[in-house]
Amino acid sequence: MIRKIIHRIFRRPGQDASASRAVEPAVIPPESHPIRREQISSGSRRVCEILQEQGYKAYVVGGAVRDLLTGATPKDFDVATDATPDEVRRCLKRSRLIGRRFQIVHAHMGRETVEITTFRGSEKHAAKTDAHGRLLRDNVFGNHAEDAARRDFTINALYFDPVTERILDYHHGLADLKQKTLRIIGDPKIRYREDPVRMLRAVRLAAKLKLFIDPEARRPIREMAVLLENVPPPRLFDEMLKMLTSGYAVECLAALRAEGLQHDTLPLLDVALHDPQGEKFILFALSDTDKRIRQGKTSSPAFLFAVLLWREVNVTWKRLCEDGEHPQPALFQAMGEVLQTQGEKLAITRRIASDIKEIWALQPRLEQRSGKRVYGVLEHPRFRAAYDFLLLRAEAGEIAQELPDWWLAFQEAHPQQRADMLLPAPGSGKKRRRRRRKAGNSEHPAEGHAEETAFAGDA
Ligand code: ATP
Ligand code: MG
């Protein structure tokens, strides 16, 4: 104990903790921590038991242990072992190798899939890096202590043994968790350089678990944020999605901006938040989503990105209309431009991008309440998401509440009542074309009623 306290006190700022790394972990007996084996998924528990019966080490590790200690519900229960992937496969019948970069085993235990990772070795000796020091590979096996040292934060390097119910703690993660501190393992600058995504993970975990980022880990972030430029856009997309669906998206985005990390992840966020209406919409929508997620409901990635980028689409759309573009092609052009700019930093998958476009393209169509097209909108596979989006726009004061109210009533009405609810069709022929032109010059293309704006065409 005294050795550990001395170790903590004399760890100088910037000192590479892995150099003075405790090779023997602190062993926390079951009576000194709250995790019980019943809290571990039955599949992961069984995997650990089977591997241990065969003479291997096997623990539940990472986010699951951390979340259980903080009272949060773990997303998954990953297992770490000293068995090689081939040895794991020999022990577990329904298992297969996945991953090219670093082989992981997926074992099917009943309906559960358990991810099993072999202890990884020290990154320093094994790995290849790019010109900026980013690790390109970390595919060398190592011992338990090395596996703990290559994890990102002390609270993520806790190993729970479901057989003995003991926790192995190599980097004082338990003490850090008690002190609500997110501390990086090793020299923060080196660890961020190896993998800049760790800066985003720091922000997300601190926001989610209400932790303080240790000053040593926080200080270099602003100056190193630029390293995110070299991270492959699909990886940034995954991490950003985790932030948005963490149930703490509002806090994450605030922290992202406070640390200067948004430029290389969500370049359009500043533009959107700069304008009070844009900020109101985003904060309103994300806090609503956060609430839903914390109640155990889901929210689609497309919806979340549609929210974040909506203001920018609107601004671009308006500009194009002012330049004389017809409103409907202008909307499509605006959507394309915004997704393109965003995609340069963070690769939104094609499928999600197409869902986002559908949600946006349905907005002007939802503003129409006349003619047969209304029925088409109602039948549209993306209607529900587009309606929820419309509702948020109304709640944020962007459009009149009357519009989503009408759609709610229309959805619930009988077919005959529906026909009666339709508004009279706008004029025809020349008159209609004139209206279109006028609508294109209106102050805000997505605002006002589509009975007037006449964004009639199908998306
Ligand atoms: P969550 O699942 O809530 O997003 P997590 O910490 O479990 O959080 P995962 O991505 O599931 O995140 O990673 C599992 C574990 O792998 C982490 O707890 C950490 O120990 C390690 N890890 C993940 N990403 C990194 C990284 N970039 N650098 C070092 N270790 C990492
Ligand atoms: Mg996890």
Residues 34-68: tens digit of each pLDDT: 999 999 999 999 999 999 999 999 999 999 999 99
Flag the least confident range among 12-26, 289-303, 401-415. 12-26
DSSP, res 458: -
Question: Mean pLDDT, to the nearest integer, of 305-324?
Answer: 91
Q: For residue 91, what pLDDT is reported?
A: 96
CA-based nearest residue to 142, from 125, 166, 162: 125
Q: For residue 126, what pLDDT is reported?
A: 54
Max CA distance (Å), the chain:
88
115 membership: H or E segment, kind and range: strand 112-118
Q: Given pLDDT bands bounded at 50, 70 and 90, which one contains residue 20?
A: very low
Q: Is the CB of 78 under 6 A from ligand 1?
A: yes
Q: Tell me: pLDDT of 12 over 80.
A: no
The one catalytic residue among 82, 138, 152, 355? 152
Q: Are 382 and 358 in contact (CB under 8 A)?
A: yes
Nearest CA to ligand 1 atom 30: 151
- In the block, residue with structure tokens 């690790």: 135
- In the block, residue with structure tokens 């650990």: 48
Pairing of strands 112-118, 79-81: parallel
pLDDT of 74-125, one tens digit each?
989 999 999 999 999 999 999 999 986 678 999 999 999 999 999 998 766 5
C-alpha span between 129 and 396 (Å, rounded): 46
Is 152 in the active site?
yes
Q: Are 220 and 257 in contact (CB under 8 A)?
A: no
Q: For residue 276, what pLDDT is reported?
A: 78
C-alpha span between 33 and 69 (Å, rounded): 8
pLDDT of 367-426, one tens digit each?
888 778 888 888 899 999 999 999 999 988 889 999 999 999 988 888 888 878 887 776
CA-based nearest residue to 197, from 149, 233, 167: 233
Write the single-letter amino acid at 371. Answer: G
410-420 b/e (C-beta count within 10 Å ≥ 16 → b):
beeeeeeebee
Q: Rg of the chain's alpha carbons, rounded to an integer?
A: 26
400: number of CA atoms within 13 Å, CB side? 8
59 membership: H or E segment, kind and range: strand 58-61
Residue 59: phi and psi, rounded to 5, are -135, 155
Q: For residue 435, what pLDDT is reported?
A: 47
For a pLDDT cut of 70, what percent of the chain falls above it? 84
For a pLDDT cut of 90, what percent of the chain falls above it? 54
DSSP, res 329: H
Question: Mean pLDDT, to the nearest integer, of 242-259?
Answer: 90
Query: At a CB cut-off of 8 Å and minimum separation 6, what does 17 contact?
Result: 11, 171, 185, 186, 187
Higher pLDDT, 270 or 213: 213
Going across the sheet that includes 166-169, the strands are: 26-28, 166-169, 158-161, 58-61, 79-81, 112-118, 104-109, 95-98
Is 214 in the active site?
no
CA-based nearest residue to 407, from 418, 420, 392, 396: 418
337 token code pair: 């431009």
C-alpha span between 113 and 116 (Å, rounded): 10
Residue 303: phi and psi, rounded to 5, are -60, -45
Nearest CA to ligand 1 atom 8: 63
Question: Mean pLDDT, to the nearest integer, of 252-257?
Answer: 89
Q: For residue 438, what pLDDT is reported?
A: 44
Most confident of the following: 101-105, 282-286, 455-459:
282-286
Is 187 in the active site?
no
Q: Count the Cβ atoms, other than its own, within 10 Å of residue 103.
A: 17
Q: What is the average pLDDT value for the chain, to the nearest integer?
A: 84
84 token code pair: 């090689």
Quickly list DSSP for 118-153.
EPB--HHHH--B-TTS-BS----B--HHHHHHTSSB
Q: For residue 455, what pLDDT is reported?
A: 30
Q: Tell me: pLDDT of 236 over 70.
A: yes
User: In angstroms, what CA-CA distances link 132 with 45, 216, 228, 344?
Assistant: 40, 21, 11, 19
C-alpha span between 140 and 162 (Å, rounded): 26
Ligand closest to Cα of 205 equals 1
328 C-alpha to center of ligand 2: Å?
43
Nearest CA to ligand 1 atom 16: 62
64 C-alpha to center of ligand 2: Å?
6
Q: For residue 427, what pLDDT is reported?
A: 61
Question: Mean pLDDT, to the nearest integer, of 324-340?
Answer: 92
Which of the listed residues 75, 156, 193, 236 should we mutate to test ligand 1's pocket, taking the one with most ligand atoms within 8 A of CB? 156
Q: For residue 107, what pLDDT is reported?
A: 97
329 token code pair: 């092609």
Flag the least confident range among 11-20, 168-177, 332-341. 11-20
Q: For residue 437, what pLDDT is reported?
A: 46
Alpha helices (H) in 210-248, listed in sequence order: 215-218, 221-224, 233-244
CA-based nearest residue to 137, from 168, 101, 108: 101
Q: Is the CB of 152 under 6 A from ligand 1?
A: yes
CA-based nearest residue to 26, from 159, 170, 163: 170
Q: For residue 86, what pLDDT is reported?
A: 92
Question: Mean pLDDT, to the nearest integer, of 138-152?
Answer: 89
323 membership: H or E segment, kind and range: none
Stated pTM of the model? 0.80
